[in-house]
Copies of this chain bind each other. A is one copy, B any other.
Amino acid sequence: MSTPAADRTILVVNVNTSAEVTETIRRSAAAAVSAGTRVVALTPRFGPASVESNYESHLSAVGVLDAVQRHDGPFDAVVHAGFGEVGREALQDVLTVPVVDITEAAAHTACLLGRTYGVVTSLTRAAPAIHDRLLLSGLAGRCVGIRAVDRPVLELDADPESTAKGFVTEAQALVDDHGAEVVLLGCAGMAGVTEAVQAALPVPVVDGVAAAARLAESLVGLGLSTSKARSYAAPQPKPILGWPLR
């Protein structure tokens, strides 16, 4: 059933238009997959510089669709690299390869490691959208809390040490006060921070991009892909007026 890893390409799509964030995401994903699996990271051509609201999340969904649909070259799976963002289902409709959302990948992975988990994200206002995705996944009941460092996404990289410190404080509170047995880092592009947070914490720390890239590779390795039977059936061909996507 297993196919040679060397033939595999995982497309990892950033949700914002920052090439720097895309590169961080690419590095997380590349470090997570097996030797021989290629990671290609995409930046949307249009959309918000960072995604921190429902408004930006919905804009980013079509930026991500556009990026994937314009991508030239074969790929075996797609990672939707926005934590708590909408859009995974849209990709599943138009593709036949597996699509893995980093929020869901992180939560599924956490549930294999501990009975409960908590999430640390950037802004308090991001928590509800994250919670919605966890509710739909079925795994919200195992989430003991979502806490925020309350720094905008684009400032997280400015002072990584202080950022890591903020994440450690919130993560430790999830462990001590809420009984979290695993902590998810609720942002994409946290490669450097993940290691620092893991070093400081007594519980496993899951980076969604790494988890999603590895799960995507696993699905390919297992010869499995998105079910096209109902929810994610291919859309009927129909006129799409004035739209830049192909």
Contacts and interface: CB of A to CB of B under 8 A. Distances in A.
A233 B181 CA distance: 10
Nearest to A104: B112
B114 A232 contact: yes
B238 A94 contact: no
B231 A94 contact: no
B243 A109 contact: no
A240 interface: yes
A70 interface: no
A71 interface: no
Contact of A135 (B89, B98, B136, B175): B136
17 contacts: A1-B31, A1-B32, A2-B31, A2-B34, A48-B240, A59-B240, A62-B62, A89-B129, A108-B111, A108-B112, A109-B224, A114-B226, A115-B232, A136-B136, A181-B227, A203-B227, A211-B222
